[in-house]
Every structure is written in C-alpha cells, then in structure tokens.
Amino acid sequence: MTWLPTDLTPLLARLSGPDRRTREAAAEHLADLLRSGALHQDQAEHVISRLAEVAVAEHPGADASAARYAIGEATACYRPPLELVRRLTALPTDEPAILEDVLDILACTYDPAAEDIIRTHRADPRAEVRAAAEQALTELPGRVPGPTPQRYVTWAYADQWVRDLSAVLATFTTTFEQDRGYPCGEHTLGAAAGQAELVAMTAGELHDVMPSDLLTWCRRVREVSLPDVGAGYFLHPPDLIVAHALVEGVQWIIDGDGSRERVVVFGSDGGGTLYALNPTGTAVHRLPPGEMHDGVYRTDDPRAGVVAPHLVGFLDLLRAAVHEHVRTGAAPEL
C-alpha cells in the first residue's frame, strides 16, 4: 500500500535535495501517490506544478526524467491544468522520447488551448514525433469514443450528477409513502471515498486493472444506493469493488470468441444483474445472473452485453432512468 504522508512539504523539499538518489526516490513516491488518486485535487495540482518546475529547471538528466514520469502517472486519475504543465514545452527537443511524453501530458489536459502547441510538432522531421503529435490531437477532446459529450468522468461531472439526482430524489422520497403505500427505502448519494480506500483500489495487482474513471468517480462519490428506483440500482463503495475484483466476485468474462476479458464490477441492480468496466474504461458490461467459477463469468442470457461505451455513458443512462421512473413510475432497465 502506498504510504500517504500527512504533510507533503518535506517530500516536495526532497526533490531539490543534494543527493540524487533522494531526489529520485521523492519523485517516485509522488508518482505512486498521483497514480493511486490518493491526493485531493488541490494537493495534486500543487505536486504537479512542483514536478514541472523540477523537470524543466533543476537537476537535468535522471531527475528530470523521474519528475516527467511522475506527471505522466498523474494523468491516470487527474486532468492536469494546462497552465501547470505548459512549461514542459521548454524541455530539450532533441530526444523524441521526451517530446512524446510531453505531447501525451498535454493531450491529457483536455484543454483546447493545447491544440496549437501540439500542432507545431506535426511537421517535425522525426516520424515518431509526428505520430505522437497526431495521437495527442486525437486524444485531446477525450480518449474514449462515444455519443456522450462528457466522455471522461471529471469532478465537475460527478458533482453535477449528484446535484441532478439529489433534486429529483428530494421530491420522489417526500411523496413516496403516500404514493406507494409503504415506506421509502434509504437512498444514498455518498460523499467522497477516503484516501485509504482510494489507495486500496490500486494496490498490488489492481494497479493495472482499476479503470481510471472509476477512481475519479469514487474520489467524489463513494457509493450510490437507489433501492426504490425500479428493482433498485447500486453503485458499489470502494471496499466492495476491491473485494469483487480480488476474491469474491466476477473478475473475468468470456467474450464471443471464447477468450477471457478482465473486468471490474462496480454496480448492480436488485435483480442480481452486475455492471462491470474493462480496465481501459472503454466498455460497460451488463452481466445478468449466470454461472461463475474461479472468478470467470459465463451466461447464455441474451441480455448480457455492452450497455455503454464508457462510465459516463452508463451514468448518463442511470440518471435518465431515475428521471423517467420518478416522472412516469415506469421500471427502468439498464
């Protein structure tokens, strides 16, 4: 498990220490913290800003490489503001690998203002740099293709999602018993997950499995419980996500060609259907009750399949289903 310091100041100070190994170790520790999503947004931005300073202005060579790597790791859970990473464009351009890293980081800002910076490298004489620039331009609007305009979970999206559902559920729960004749269950739109929970979501083998969007979501919304919307819909808390991903639940599904695909279950409904993301966050699978053996899920149920191209697409469907249920009483099916 990643050690989370209560005060980042000493760790950041070690980035400028006299010993090279100490500086590199500090950058590696910060990379671990950023990769796991354990820091609050303001903390992460402060760390990214300092790492960018180190990468450009201090201790060239291995130290700059370690700092640049740490910033790249941050993009798994954070969208670095362009103004914090723009200075990386001052790095030497004679090494294609450096430019490729910088272009990828610029793409992860999702800031339209980064487009002009990236475009200047489309005419680079080196093929690998031109390819990196084209890839960055493709990724700049958002890495996952799909119909929803907000393709990646952001804090702003999560906060607006909670506000939307809080407003519609306020009326729904107030009149529920009068309308239905029995008490309303407890509906929960949970607050942010704790730092220890977030670190556990990327510990050990989960480091390369946990979708970054799911981490971003849990950093704002720990869990969602909607027991009276249709058969009930639930977005799981981190401890249940981790338990499913490691020992207790579905970890693999069988594709149409018979191959296994790794998934992370993050939600369910009251009828036993599970919802799972693949590690890249590019498909949300609906998994009706089926056979499971050694973490491998199999079913012939025709309802099984991809229901959304990404987590935002699924969250949009769930939000729309809640609104429709409250408006008409119809039982939604996702």
What is the pLDDT, as a whole number, of residue 266? 97
User: d(Cα 189, Cα 75) in Å, to the nearest integer?
Assistant: 26
Which residues are bridge partners to 303 per DSSP? Answer: none
Q: Does the structure show a pLDDT above 70 at 161?
A: yes
* E-strand stretches of the chain: 188-189, 224-226, 233-235, 252-254, 260-262, 264-269, 274-277, 284-287, 291-293, 296-298, 305-308
Q: CB burial class (10 A; 0-12, 13-18, 19+) of residue 177? A: exposed
Backbone dihedral region of 232: left (phi > 0), alpha (psi from -120 to 50 degrees) or beta? left
Task: Give yes or no for a contact between 63 and 24, defined as CB atoms under 8 angstroms apart.
Answer: yes
Q: Is 16's pLDDT higher than 50?
A: yes
Read off the pLDDT of residues 28-42 as tens digits, 9 standing for 90 and up: 999 988 887 777 777
pLDDT grade for 144, boundaries at 50, 70 and 90: very low
- Residue 258 pLDDT: 76
Under 8 Å between Cβ of 36 and 44? no
- Quick check: pTM over 0.85? no
Q: Which amino acid is at 302?
A: P
**pLDDT for 138:** 82
The pLDDT value given to residue 5: 59
* Cα distance between residue 286 and residue 277, in whole Å: 9
Cα 207 to Cα 73: distance, rounded to the nearest angstrom:
12
Report pLDDT digits (tens) over 264-277.
999 999 999 999 99
Q: Cβ(17)–Cβ(54) under 8 Å?
A: no
pLDDT band at 152, cuts 50/70/90?
confident
Question: Is the Cβ–Cβ distance between 35 and 207 less than 8 Å?
Answer: yes
Non-local (6+) Cβ contacts of 120 within 8 A are none
The predicted pLDDT at position 116 comes to 93
pLDDT at residue 248 tops 90: no
Phi-psi region of 261 (alpha: psi -120 to 50; beta: other; left: phi over 0): beta
Taking only the tens place, the pLDDT of each residue in 45-92 is 899 999 999 888 755 555 778 899 999 988 877 778 889 999 999 988
Mean of pLDDT values over 111-128: 92
User: What does the pLDDT average to over 214-225?
Assistant: 93
